[in-house]
Amino acid sequence: MDRRHFLRNSALASGVLMVPAFLKPFEAFAAGDTNGYKNLVIIQLSGGNDGLNTIIPFGNDIYYQKRNTIAVNQTDIIKLNDMQGFNPSLSALKEIYDQGWMSIINSVGYPNPDRSHFRSMDIWQTGSDANQFLTTGWIGRYLDANCQAGKPYTAIEVDDTLSLAMKGAKMKGIAVQDPNKLYQTTREPFFKDLVHDHDANLSEDNLGYLYKTMIETYSSADYIQNTSKTYNVNAQYPTTPLGNQLKTVSKFINSGLQTRVYYVSLSGFDTHVGQQNQQGRQLKIYGDAVAAFVKDLKQTGKLDDTLVMTFSEFGRRVEQNASNGTDHGTANNVLIFGGKLKKAGFYNDAPDLTQLDNGDLKYQVDFRDVYATLLDKWLDVNNSQVLTKNFNGLSFV
């Protein structure tokens, strides 16, 4: 294979090579002491998780009237107060909630919601209005804004491909499923030869940009591998894909990797038919993995410096459908975890089931106010530099 063909067809085909342009040779960074270095972990639940059967408003009779076969029995609900409780599949999170390490924000959405998985996910990942189409993600624009300040940070998606959320106009995050695999791939002779070949015609077909990307990938792989291998995770995690992703994030955080944002995802929440069993399985995977992660970070002293945010692209309709499932809806809950929450427990009231919009929940909290809080109060950047306009934010941190 000649060099030009390889670069055209391979260099940007994988998210693994979607590397931030500001990632200069990482040998310049020493791991050092990262206490006080704040981390943000984002968990995406893909498919539109049913928030009403996740954080259950059992104290409202309308919930049982609208969901006569898929409503969770009161005797099975893990009650958190007189109105709301956990789906029983989230039993692992009860200890986390009781410790004050969890905040539940109800009725999160945006004006004129879209019920398409793809479009609504784009809206959440870019932070756009419903009628606005952006090509950059909100985390990517955070990277763009902070690169100008010269801060040595990056964003890692623990996956093989890179989400739109992680792509900025100038900077991008990097997708790393397995740091050793990435390192070994970049050490293949052909890759190494390309990286070290400075005599190629770098102006043809934008090869200069591709070579630059490969050089940065080569250096990034070395830094991530050599830093992360200095720490072994001792905590027990469930042997699920999400459990493995969060275990990798723990390894990255505790090894002192100079990273601000981590992104992971769990799919399987599009529950139009037979929802109870399917959602229950996915919620257990989620709850068990998050509980293990939070307790692990508490044990290693990193929980106070970490925030975890969970979102899904939309909730489900209040009334069940004829197939013992739920159809695409609107507002949903956002779950926040961390060791320094200012408002643990329920951040706001339960969803209003009496005032619906054509059968759907009305949003009470704009999801970009959640983002604004994370940007302003956790990542130390003015949210107006990242979002389409300035948002007031919330007070959970």
Domains in the chain, CATH or no CATH each: 31-153+229-349 (3.40.720)
Both tokens assigned to 91? 């039993």
CA distance to 30, 175, 218, 226, per residue, from 27 (Å): 7, 20, 12, 10
Q: Is the dihedral of CA 290, 92, 304, 139 positive or negative?
A: positive
3-class DSSP state for residue 241?
helix
228-257 per-position pLDDT tens digit: 999 999 999 999 999 999 999 999 999 999
> Which residue type sits at 243?
G
Flag whether pLDDT at 131 surpasses 60: yes
CA distance to 41, 46, 172, 192, 311, per residue, from 136 (Å): 19, 19, 9, 31, 19
3-class DSSP state for residue 394?
coil
Q: Is the dihedral of CA 395, 291, 310, 384 positive or negative?
A: positive
Give the number of C-alpha atoms closer than 13 A to the C-alpha of residue 97, restricted to the C-beta side: 19
Total-model pTM: 0.89
Closest CA to 303 of 316, 293, 318, 289: 293
Pairing mode of beta strands 55-56, 39-45 = unpaired
The pLDDT assigned to 208 comes to 62
**CB–CB of 77/63 below 8 Å?**
no
3-class DSSP state for residue 76?
coil
| CA gap 369, 40 in Å, rounded | 16
Mean pLDDT on 97-120: 98
Both tokens assigned to 201? 């015609």
Bridge partners, residue 40, by sequence = 261, 307
345-365 per-position pLDDT tens digit: 999 999 999 999 999 999 999
**CB–CB of 48/328 below 8 Å?**
yes
185-220 per-position pLDDT tens digit: 878 776 666 666 654 445 545 556 566 667 767 777
Pairing mode of beta strands 332-338, 306-312 = antiparallel
